[in-house]
Structure 1
Amino acid sequence: METKCAMGCPWRIYGSWMKRDLTFIVKSYNDEHICSRNMTNRQATTRWMSKYYVEKFRRNTNWSVKEMEKDLLTKFYLSISRMKAYRSKWEALRKLQGSIEEHYAMLGLYLEQLRIVNPTSMFSIVYKRAFTGAHSVFQHLYIGFDGLKKGFMHGCRPIIGFDGCFLKTFLGGQLLSTVGRDHNNQMFPIAWAVVEGENYHAWSWFLGILFDDLAIDPGYDLTLISDQQKGLDYATKQRVPGAEHRNCACHIYAN
């Protein structure tokens, strides 16, 4: 078996299969190259690149095709067209989007299992009708374990901190969380929720379930701490008008 380089280049390798030794032996090899490196490869298909970079896009969905082209050039000395890079990115994002939608579809079963093993805990999921089609899509999710509720009510100070962060997925959304302060001045998680966005409607829904579960109304002797989240101030005034609401000093200093 013989393999050569491009026309006019002396690079050559020749080998053969040895039946007696059951091995392949290279019998001659010339490693001299006089041709320039070929920066294209037909095996670098859109399917291969989307599979290779799918985990990269899972960690950073905003990773640009320009950075992908640079990475291919650095690792594999491979040059691809801009359109091929876009197709590879779209294919990788399509794979990720499909897997995330499948995972969200299993939330109902997940909550049912939680209710079986935590019958006194508070779990809630809200769906809404999709704009196209007859199926429903996920909107809100609330998780409040009974053990955390009892720990806050019997072992924490009357202080609740609120915060929210973005969910870096294709479906977007935000994670809302509440924490208390125990008598050792340590943070104590209370409950959390996944919502479409940080606004009055989302906070009002979250606070309604939270304060009903904690039996707090109208919130006298309760202090709330937050980072000026959108819609939170008005939602707390509507739900617990007797609570004192203050902004986090660390966030005020940082901003």
Structure 2
Amino acid sequence: MRLNFEDVPRIMQLLQDGRFYIKRMIVRRLFSFVAWKHVLGGYTRQGHKADNLFGIRRCNLIHTCGDDNLRSRGHPRADASWVANIVKERLRGEPSYRPCMMLTDIQRDYGVELNYHKVWKGKELAMHDIHGVEEGSYDRLRWYCSAIKETNPGSIVECEIDHQTNKFKRFICFKACATGFINGCRPLIFLDGTHIKNKYKGCILVAVAKDANDDIFTLAYSVVDAENDDNWGWFCFHLKGALLSHRMMVFDEFTFFSDRHPGIIKAIHLVFPSSYHAYCLRHLVDNFVKQVSYY
């Protein structure tokens, strides 16, 4: 319906009487409307010449529209994508921001109760937006190994891929780490492994030392599918090659520390037969308590 400027007084009278409702109107001339609550329960509109200004007759700052639904668990707008948009910026500066912390913060800041799985999924989406998906990282594995050799001359990088199972093993020893260990650390090498708790699982094998400040100094690490005899032997073999490449020929000067994992014991005996192998006291106590608890 098209209205002329001359029709406005008649339309305003109809609106004030509460007998007419216009869903959409197109006014040929520049004209604006201001709405306020009518005494009969409806709404009326007052016309003014358009001058980029508008007036507010009454304002209620307490809004309850949809509040009960928004605070419920099943609200459709509080989905994983919504969570991702909220936590993305904080995740950029705080990658350790955990889903349980997100639950508390969202409940406090937005009054929305969500389940853990939805928040965890939201974090995954946010991490994908920031760093990309895991599949893309694995596709660039060979490029990454080549980039290390080109940008860090003297670094040792080995990558073996089983094309039948699509599993891989990767060993990395940066030149700076090897040089720092030789020149600034005591001849003590600590070996241990830790599990990767992400979508694709796996295990990280590490060799670390202690510097002059008694801080942990990373020497080399490897990403493998599991912590077993074969992978520990493969890791120690390449660790020996990395040390040999820096003229570290006297291996009986080194002392290795470990948690008595069978794979480490076999690997050190095979690859470093002249080196002394000590055991971590904390792991000795933990293993002893674990074995005693079985009886």
Q: TM-score, normalised on structure 1?
A: 0.67
The aligned counterpart of 1:7 is none
Counterpart code for 2:229: Y
Partner of 2:200: 171
SS in structure 2 of the partner of residue 214 of structure 1: helix
1:227 matched residue in structure 2? 259
Partner of 2:191: 162
Whether the 8 Å CA contact 1:175–1:195 is kept in 2: the answer is: yes
Task: Give the partner amino acid of 1:127.
Answer: I
Q: What are the ranges of 5 or more consecutive residues in structure 1 without an aligned counterpart? A: 5-9
Amino acid of the residue matched to residue 163 of structure 1?
D
**Change in 2 beyond 3 A, CA 1:53/1:30:** closer
- How high is the sequence identity, in percent, across the aligned residues? 23
Report the equivalent of 2:238: 209
Amino acid at match of 1:231: G
* Matching of residue 29 in structure 1 with residue 29 in structure 2: no
Alignment match of 1:19 (pick from 50, 58, 70): 50
Post-superposition CA distance 1:72-127 (Å, at most 9, x none): 544323356x6xx7567556546757612212322321221221233432111222
SS in structure 2 opposite 1:232? helix
SS, match of residue 201 in structure 1: helix
Q: Greater CA radius of gyration, 1 or 2?
A: 2
Residues 151-191 of structure 1 show CA distances to partners (whole Å, capped at 9, x for unaligned) of 44455443222233333432223332223356786654322
Structure 1 distance, partners of 2:224, 2:250, is 24
Deviation at residue 37 of structure 1 after TM alignment:
4.6
Aligned-pair CA distance for 1:202: 1.9
Using the TM superposition, name which of 196-205 and 71-80 deviates more.
Answer: 71-80
Q: 2:62 & 2:176 partners in 1: Cα distance? A: 72
Partner Cα separation in structure 1 for residue 225 and residue 48 of structure 2: 63
Shift in alpha-carbon separation, 1:51–1:3, aligned structure 2, 3 A: farther
Question: Quick check: 1:244 aligned with 2:276?
Answer: yes
CA distance in 1, matches of 2:87, 2:47: 37
Give the superposed CA RMSD. 4.3
Q: Look up the SS of the partner of 1:179 in the other structure.
A: strand
Alignment partner, residue 108 of structure 1: 142
Task: Deviation per CA, 1:193-247: give whole Å up to 9, x if none.
Answer: 2222322222111101011222378943431112334621122112222221111
Spell out the pairing of 1:47-86 with structure 2 (5 A cutoff). 47-52=81-86, 55=91, 59=96, 63=99, 72-78=106-112, 86=117
- Bigger drift between 233-242 and 201-210 goes to 233-242
Q: Which runs of 5+ in 2 are unaligned?
A: 1-33, 288-295
Measured at CA, do residues 164 and 18 of structure 1 come closer, stay the same or move farther in structure 2, by a change above 3 Å? farther
Q: Which amino acid aligns with 1:180?
A: A
Which residue, 221, 226, 250 being the options, matches 1:197?
226
Amino acid at match of 2:50: K
2:256 match: secondary structure: strand
Count of paired positions: 235
Residue type at the aligned position of 1:148: C
Alignment partner for residue 175 of structure 2, among 133, 140, 146?
Answer: 146
Shift of residue 248, structure 1, vs aligned partner? 2.3
User: Alpha-carbon deviation of 1:23?
Assistant: 4.1
